Amino acid sequence: MKKRRTVAALVLAAVALALCSVRPEALAQSRRPVARRSSSAVEHAHESTGLFSYMTVERAMIAVCTERSNDPLGSAPIDVMQARPSMDVDDPEVVAGAERAQRLLPLAKKYAIASLRGLATEYGVPAWRVNAAAARMQAVTQIEPDMDLRDNAIVYSDDARTIYFGTIFLIGLPSEEGMISVLAHELTHLGDGPRDLLHPLFDLIGKRASNLTGLEITGRRPEELTCDVVGARSVRSYIERAPSNDTVARRLARGVEHNCVTEDETDEYHLSPRSTLRAVFAVNPALARAIIGGTSDDTGSTSIKRYQPSRVTTSPSRAAGTHPHHRLR
Ligand SMILES: [Zn+2]
Ligand SMILES: [Zn+2]
């Protein structure tokens, strides 16, 4: 907490300094061509932009987790789900969750494919790759609840039509937005498939997120991060087309808020949940701004007081398979 405050204070000081130092110069030298600005001034402006986006990301993380805690349909955080007992597939809540997933699957396919197309254009990935992945995603038709999967969803490369859902996970995602995000995540794994169709995109997004956040994003993590980015973007597309009485911020938050954990632990495949949030917002500043800009009434200054930065554990203390939406093979 203390460290964060210090960083925030430094950022404010740097921004204030930048504003103070630019203004008189701009007034005094208003007739000078822009090209004559000194290189140090340019560097300073660049650095300020970086600081602004850092603040945007941090504020969006606070906003998401505040929305989650006030939302009757908020997703359960990953660490809370992990602590719950497994539910039987016949439990009415599980049945309702599976029906919700099955009903939203066509929409999730549509928006996940559209998000991938947008990302491919943005990152310069050949269209044939997304077209081939989209064909695989269109073939997914089944949701299969599985008690033993607990708080995970899993897809198997030799069963390209089915997304398997742990019963705890089905119950932990009561909102349509939360469900669409997880479905889009799993669909992205299935779209990638055994030919690794989407790996060039995974690598580019992983590198960009790493450059922006300083996080080490290697191994399977670029893929998991990209699946989460597709999930968050799919929710945004869904919200634009399906009106609701809930605020845009609350609805956008549902796409990522299962990462609002207290125990911020990681495994060998994923970034920690809070690092995932940070990376998703770093590569989607527009999403971060939309969440900050569209917060509900009770997310003013009080939300900052309520925010408890969690302890960061970097050791892979979590056993593989206990994290949501793994692809095992
Ligand atoms: Zn792959
Ligand atoms: Zn995954």
Kindly report, residue by residue over 51-92, the tens digit of the pLDDT.
668 899 999 999 999 999 999 999 999 999 999 999 999 999
Highest mean pLDDT among 3-12, 79-88, 177-186: 177-186
Mean of pLDDT values over 110-132: 98
Q: Which sign does the torsion angle of CA 250, 86, 108, 321 carry?
A: positive
> What's residue 197's pLDDT?
98
Return the ∠ at Cα 197 (arms to 191 and 201), rounded to 5°: 100
Q: Which residue has the higher pLDDT, 29 or 157?
A: 157
Q: Is residue 148 predicted with pLDDT exceeding 70?
A: yes
Rounded distance from Cα 60 to ligand 2 centre (Å): 22
**Mean pLDDT throughout 27-38?**
37
Q: 289 CA distance to ligand 2 centroid (A)?
A: 25
Across the range 25-37, mean pLDDT stands at: 36
Q: Pick from 40, 145, 33: which is nearest to 95 by CA? A: 145
ipTM of the complex: 0.94
Ligand 2 mean position, distance from CA 19 (Å)? 43
Sheet holding 153-156, edge to edge: 142-146, 159-166, 153-156
Counting ligands in written order, the one closest to the CA of 327 is: 2
60-69, 188-197, 304-313: lowest mean pLDDT where? 304-313
Ligand 1 centre from 253 Cα, in Å? 27
Q: Ligand 2: distance of its center to the CA of 187 in Å? A: 9
pLDDT the model gives residue 285: 93
Question: What average pLDDT does the structure give for the chain?
Answer: 81
The pLDDT confidence band at residue 244, using thresholds 50, 70 and 90, is very high
Q: CA–CA separation, 158 vs 308, rounded Å?
A: 42
> How far does residue 65's CA lie from ligand 1's centre (Å)?
31
Residue with structure tokens 């590569």?
283
Predicted confidence (pLDDT) per residue in 195-212, tens digit: 999 999 999 999 999 999
Q: Which ligand is nearest to the CA of 200?
A: 1
Q: What is the whole-number distance in angstroms between the Cα of residue 270 and the centre of ligand 2?
A: 8
pLDDT value at 30 more than 70:
no
Q: And the tokens for 135?
A: 């064909």
How much distance in Å is there from the Cα of 184 to the middle of ligand 2?
A: 10
The predicted model gives 123-137 an average pLDDT of 98
